[in-house]
Amino acid sequence: MSESAASNPLATPSARHLRPALHHQFEELEQQYDASSFGMWVFLATEMLFFGGLFTAYIMYRSLYYSGFAAGSHGLEGDFGAAMTFILLASSFTMAMSVHAAREGKRTMLVILLLLTILLGIAFLGIKFTEYSHKWHEQMVPGLNFHPSLEELRGAPGNAVELFLCFYFFMTGLHALHMIIGIGLLSVMAILAWRGKITRENYDRIEVSGLYWHFVDIVWIYLFPLLYLIGGRYK
């Protein structure tokens, strides 16, 4: 059910004064849209390398200290992890639908969907910070108050559990930081949409925000099994 090129508002050549959304450095709206989207993809490639450094370190240490990592993973709250996964996937759905609404020029739908996405993101962060506070109370924060009281963690090579928890906090923390930035970005988009500033000709901002949001979701898609499900939960 995709649109034909003829009805696409961005495909027709334009006189500059008829297209106020066209920035001065571009010749055509299509070029502008292309450039925005391409630019965000290039940025996402940088983010792949940014998180990638952490994933590299994670792979290295998990290979070296598997049992400690498994023991540490067991100490994480799997229900919360699963819940966060479902919430983020739903937020990706609402985000994709909001881009669709922007493309169709449906202002109200766009605002509602953006707000839903933001709410789901906040719910995610709420659970995440609850987890962090639980870890603090269980004295499982590396370096700052690491004295595990959970019986099963004392048996495992204790040091590797602390190393695992470093990864837990650093990776989910960096991810949460990206979520916060994403929520901020979407809030700005929601305000712009509410004020009617997003039209069928300049919705590339929503598209580009969506790309960022989906990327952050993809990072979580990997973090969930890699942090929460090491060694299974059948014991």
Partner 1 sequence: MSTAVAEVPVESRVHYLNANYGIKSWLFTTDHKRIALLYLGSITLMFFIGGAAAVMMRLHLIEPAGALVQPETYNKLFTIHGVIMVWFFLIPSIPNTLGNFLVPMMIGARDLAFPRLNLLSWYVYITGAAFTLYTLISGGVDTGWTFYTPLSSHYLNTHVMATALGVFITGFSSILTGLNFIVTIHKMRAPGMTWKRMPLFLWSTYATSIIFVLATPVLAIALFLVGLERIFHVGIFDPAIGGDPVLFQHLFWFYSHPAVYIMILPGMGVVSELVTCFSKKKPFGYVFIAYSSLAIAFFSFLVWGHHMFVSSQSVYAGFIFSALSFAVAIPSAIKVFNWTATLYKGSISYQAPMLYALGFIGLFTMGGLTGLFLASLATDVHLHDTYFVIAHFHYIMVGGAVMAYLGGIHFWWPKITGRLYHDGWARFAALVIFVGFNLTFFPQYMLGYLGMPRRYAVYPAEFQVLNVMSSAGASILGVGYLIPFVYLLWSIRYGPVAGSNPWSAKGLEWETPSPPPTGNFEATPIITGEPYGYAEPEHVHV
Partner 2 sequence: MSAESPSVRTYTLVFVALLVLAALTTGIAYVDLGPLNTVLALAIAVIKMSLVGLFFMHLWYSRGLTRIVVLAGFFWLALLVSFTLADVFSRSWIKPPGP
Residues found near partner 1 in the complex (CB under 8 A): 24-27, 31, 34-35, 38-39, 42-43, 45-47, 49-54, 56-57, 60-61, 64-65, 68, 141-144, 146, 157, 159-160, 162-163, 166-167, 169-170, 174
Task: Please name the residues in contact with 68: beta carbons below 8 A apart, sequence gap of 6 or more.
Answer: 156, 157, 158, 159, 160, 161, 163, 164
Helices (H), the chain: 29-64, 66-74, 78-104, 107-137, 151-155, 158-194, 204-223
User: Is 18 strand, coil or helix?
Assistant: helix
Q: Which two tokens stand for residue 11?
A: 């495909």
CB 80 within 8 A of CB 227: no
Cβ proximity to partner 2: between 52 and 133 the closer is 52
| Closest distance of CB 146 from partner 1, Å | 8
User: Is 140 strand, coil or helix?
Assistant: coil
Q: Which two tokens stand for residue 183?
A: 């929520």
Task: Please name the residues in contact with 195: beta carbons below 8 A apart, sequence gap of 6 or more.
Answer: none
Cβ proximity to partner 2: between 2 and 143 the closer is 2
CB 228 within 8 A of CB 131: no
The item of partner 1, partner 2, none sharing an interface with residue 95, based on CB under 5 to 8 Å by kind, is: partner 2
| Closest distance of CB 227 from partner 1, Å | 14
Cβ proximity to partner 1: between 61 and 194 the closer is 61
d(CA 169, CA 20): 46
Cβ proximity to partner 1: between 89 and 177 the closer is 177
**Residues near partner 2 (CB under 8 A):** 1-3, 5, 8, 10-11, 30, 33-34, 37-38, 41-42, 44-45, 48-49, 52-53, 55-56, 59-60, 63-64, 78, 82, 85-86, 89-90, 92-93, 95-97, 99-100, 103, 207, 210-211, 214-215, 217-218, 221-222, 224-225, 229-234
The item of partner 1, partner 2, none sharing an interface with residue 86, based on CB under 5 to 8 Å by kind, is: partner 2
Q: Which two tokens stand for residue 23?
A: 């920035």
Cβ proximity to partner 2: between 10 and 111 the closer is 10
| Closest distance of CB 41 from partner 2, Å | 5
